[in-house]
Amino acid sequence: MIFSLLLSSMMASATPPLPANELAKYQSCSIDEDCVYVQNGSCDCNNGGMGVAINRTKVAEFEKLFEKTECTTIKGAACNIGIPKCEQNKCLYYARIIPRYKKKSDASK
């Protein structure tokens, strides 16, 4: 119970990710080099935020939308190991999928 109270109080102060319709204002592009990875929300992709791509000229403006806060400390794969691309004049972020490997003892399954 204490853990859930702590988690909810930490998440309450974090700014959530922008919805798609608001995010679109930052995603216009002409070529792949226009696009860069950013964190959508106060927390990283392992802790309630999400990795997205936006136009590199709008990064400072975009980052001002999110409060700097302490997020939960759930560890996972690095959030920024994907590829930002410009497709149909919109920056998109393709996250790299990390395969799960079976343990040697599970190999026969």
What whole-number distance in Å separates Cα of residue 91 and Cα of residue 15?
Answer: 22
Using DSSP, state whether 95 is helix, strand or coil. coil
Q: Are 42 and 15 in contact (CB under 8 A)?
A: yes
Q: What does pTM read for this prediction?
A: 0.73
What whole-number distance in Å separates Cα of residue 90 and Cα of residue 30?
Answer: 8
Per-residue pLDDT in tens (0 to 9) along the chain, 109 residues: 443 434 444 445 678 999 999 999 999 999 999 999 999 999 888 888 899 999 999 999 999 999 877 777 767 777 778 899 999 999 999 987 666 566 666 555 5
